[in-house]
Structure 1
Amino acid sequence: MKHAHPMEIEMKFRIPALAPARLRLEACGFLLASAQGPELSVLWDRDGELRAQGGALRLRRYGGTATLTWKGARVPDPLLKIRPEVETTVGDPAALEGILGQMGFGPVFEMRKSRSVWNRGALVACLDEAPFGCYLELEGSPGAIREAMGQLGLEEAQVEPRSYVTLFRELG
């Protein structure tokens, strides 16, 4: 997601199904920005260099666009996922893959899921369906995330602290 500052702050919740979550998002004033559709995310690395630093380089294809995202190491927090993040839209993903390859990077992990994106002011909500379950992500300021969490009826017991990469490796 795009940010006003280069830090990603999000909380991910395991949910039983997408349909009730959609209704709750609508009832809480979220507006659909991108309809549910397939997403392909490929992680790139160079001899494990980024992974060793706790970072990642992801090329995501979703909603007819491609985005390159660099993520830095996570900042410790018991519930929130906080990490530096910089991303940009990519006009020609195949050309970018060629550039990455010439720089010594290669694809190291692929994830496929279904996603929809919702917005309410500066807060972004993503509904994801992966092979191992359904999730709702809230991304924005810590205060806005906690406020929406209460409005949406989400509880700390539903928080999924693992990344999608970890979940795909363990469960996918």
Structure 2
Amino acid sequence: ANVPVIFLAQSKNQIMPIEVEKKYRLNQKQRQAIERRMRDRSLSPSELEHEENTIYRGGRLNLGGCALRLRRVNGLAILTFKRRLPSKSAIKYQQEEEVNVGNPDAMAAILDSLGFQPALVYEKRRTRWKVDNAKVVIDELPFGLFMEIEAPAKKIKRVEKLLEADSLPAVIETYPTLTARFGKDRKGVIEARFVSEARPSGRARKKPNRR
């Protein structure tokens, strides 16, 4: 699994990994221009990733300011805890702890037993690039196209200029927040999917049998 760009900040009791990123909204023409600039630098993307992300509620999560996510991507799964840190700019800082999960269905059952229930589900198609040692991702979601740059703040500004992205509209809202705005309520779970058929929240989509 790809590890997010982080720097280490000393908290009171431990070293705390902090993710630093900036998100931008794109249209299709802007996406093509950004990807062309990266290819002009002899860069190529990773394999397209198909994600299903389940955001949970319950316990401390209900107080806000943090999130628990179970992500299924290309046959793998990652459990992630995020806690947003204060920021006065469009660059986002958040504590992020994550662990690979061998059996996502078992993890979903454990979370349910602990009182955590799915609140949001959103699907995403992601390609990853590396530009000047910064991680750049292009994300397609049911409610729009986005780009994220993950790197220390000064590096983000440098990569913005390299990609001519410094004039693009910055997005402060997270994908869960956008899902809550644009998703559909299915039996108490807000979902944003590429397909119309509802599936049990937190469960992987089964591939159709081909005969």
Scaled to the shorter chain, the TM-score interval is 0.7 to 0.9
CA shift digits 1:19-65 (9 cap, x unpaired)? 333222233454423x2232111001215x31414000001112332
Instruction: Using the TM superposition, name which of 144-153 and 58-67 deviates more.
Output: 58-67
Matches within 5 A, 1:150-169: 150-169=161-180
Q: SS of the counterpart of 1:170?
A: helix
Aligned counterpart, 1:89: 100
Larger mean CA deviation between 116-125 and 82-91 belongs to: 116-125
Which residue in the other structure is 1:131 paired with? 142
Alignment-mate amino acid for residue 176 of structure 2 = V
Give unmatched runs, 5+ long, in structure 1. none
Alignment partner, residue 108 of structure 1 = 119
The structure number with the bigger radius of gyration is 2
**Matched residue of 2:79: which SS?**
strand
Amino acid at match of 1:21: I
What are the within-5 Å matches in structure 2 for residues 19-98 of structure 1? 19-28=32-41, 30-33=43-46, 35-47=47-59, 49-98=60-109
RMSD: 1.9
Size of the aligned set, in residue pairs, is 170
Q: Distance in 2 between matches of 1:70 and 1:90?
A: 13
Q: Distance in 2 between matches of 1:87 and 1:121?
A: 25
Distance 1:118 1:15, change over 3 A: same
Q: Which amino acid aligns with 2:123?
A: R
TM-score of the two chains, using structure 2 as the length reference: 0.73
Report which of the two has the higher share of helix.
1
**Taking CA–CA contacts closer than 8 Å with sequence separation of 6 or more, which of the two structures ends up with the larger relative contact order?**
1
The AA in structure 1 aligned to 2:72 is R
CA distance in 1, matches of 2:72, 2:179: 17
**Which deviates more from structure 2 when the two are superposed, residues 129-138 or residues 3-12?**
3-12
Q: Secondary structure at the match of 1:50?
A: helix
Q: Distance in 1 between matches of 2:62 and 2:133?
A: 30
Once the 2 structures are TM-superposed, how far is the Cα of residue 127 of structure 1 from its aligned partner?
0.5
Q: Using a 3 Å threshold, how does the CA distance of structure 1 residues 162 and 29 change in structure 2: closer, same or farther?
A: farther
Indicate the larger mover: 86-95 or 120-129: 120-129
Matching residue's letter, 1:79: A
User: 2:4 is matched with which residue?
Assistant: 2
CA drift of 1:135 comes to 0.6
CA 1:51–1:126 in structure 2 vs 1: closer, same or farther (change >3 Å)? farther
Structure 2: which 5+ residue stretches go unaligned? Answer: 9-16, 184-211
Aligned-residue identity in percent: 28
